[in-house]
Amino acid sequence: MRPDDQTLTESGLAPAGNARARILLLACGALAHEVLALKRLNGWGHMDLACLPAKLHLYPEKIPQAVEEAVLRHRAQYDEIFVLYADCGTGGLLAAKCADLGVDMLEGPHCYSFFEGNDIFAKSGDAEMTAFYLTDFLVRQFDAFVWRPLGLDRHPELRDTYFGNYRKLVYLSQTSDATLESLARDHARRLRLEYEHRHTGFGDLARELSKKA
């Protein structure tokens, strides 16, 4: 790098104007596979990934504090931190916390929405009220995040209590994988729901990350 590509400041040479800012992607563990795939596909070497445990979704009230602790722990090492959570059941508390911390976060109520596209999901309205959604992650981790936490492995009769008002299981796939499609169909059968598959790709997640490129 030539000296005249930099600006002299009181503390020394500032980074070159065309240097990429270092960005930390602070993500839900459920998004790790997708974020890493996008990083590889696009060569986003200036973005690092740190994940919080996906099981925080079982206790959404704990997400804002966990995000705050992670932001404070990593902030000094990065030019920017981008929080890869939607509201995720926090009732607006995560958005308020991110605003207090001065960091951006993904828009949308949950990952089902931003994978399908927030605008598209919002237009579906009441037509989707009886849909139970799975993503690639949840298809893989169905027993750990749905079946066992709800006690259906021990008390299958609880199926009607939890899913009596649902009519269909909608698999929003990020990748084209016949094995995952077969698993998703099996999960629908276990829940006694109609099955629907929509391939969304990475949706708004890809769009929002591309803005940081």
Question: What is the length of the chain?
Answer: 213
pLDDT at 16 over 70: no
CATH of domain 3-106: 3.40.50
List, for residues 91-100, the tens digit of each pLDDT value.
Answer: 999 999 999 9
Q: Domain locations in the chain?
A: 3-106, 118-199
- Res 7: pLDDT: 34
- Res 19: pLDDT: 63
- Res 5: pLDDT: 37
Percent of the chain clearing pLDDT 90 (strictly above): 86
Return phi, psi of residue 26, to 5°. Answer: -95, 105
Specify the pTM. Answer: 0.86
List, for residues 54-71, the tens digit of each pLDDT value.
Answer: 999 999 999 999 999 999
